[in-house]
Amino acid sequence: MMTMERALGAELRKVSNLTHRYFEQNSNKARVDAITGTNSWIIGFVAHQEEMGREVYQRDLETRFGITRSTASKVVNLMVQKGLLEQQSVPEDRRLKKLKLTERALEVKQLMDEDHVRFEATLRKGLSPEEVNTLFALLDRIKQNLTEEEMTEECEKK
């Protein structure tokens, strides 16, 4: 029987809460009103894809962030209202809307880049490259376990 002295779920939740608090207290976020943590992650993702010469669509956000279509739609609509994203029609398929960052979002991205460099350095402080690689491998396995469980539950509902 597994001992429950420290539960992985509780520890992951604590890390999530600490991450949220870190960005609330130690970031440029205060200088940019109406930007949530989720918005900043999406701006970073879209900017990176644009830098790589790739077009970004809502389904890319769903895949990258593991969110549902309805959640992605709500987030995109709010970001359009806030002046952070534009949706551009695609001539080949009128149903598709390409996501583009606005000038305001690009200014926000510059501030975010500074924050993320500091955050990564804070997370990696005192960890060897081998420990970081091990942590990534373990996190990948946990994500795989959760994804498989989610897929199993979806199949059982059918």
Looking at the fold, whether 141 and 89 belong to one and the same domain comes out as: no
Same domain, 155 and 103: no
- Domain assignment of residue 45, yes or no: yes
Gyration radius of the chain's alpha carbons = 18
Q: Is the dihedral of CA 152, 134, 18, 82 positive or negative?
A: negative
Considering its fold, how many domains does the chain have in total?
Answer: 2
* Least confident window among 54-58, 77-81, 115-119: 115-119
Are residue 85 and residue 43 in the same domain, yes or no?
yes
Residues 78 and 145 in one domain: no
Q: Which of 42, 34, 52 is nearest to 99 (CA)?
A: 42
Which of 22, 47, 58 minimizes the C-alpha distance to 108? 47
Same domain, 35 and 106: yes
Q: Which residues constitute the domain of residue 45?
A: 27-125
66 and 113 part of one domain: yes
- 57 has pLDDT over 80: yes
Residue 41 has pLDDT above 90, yes or no: no
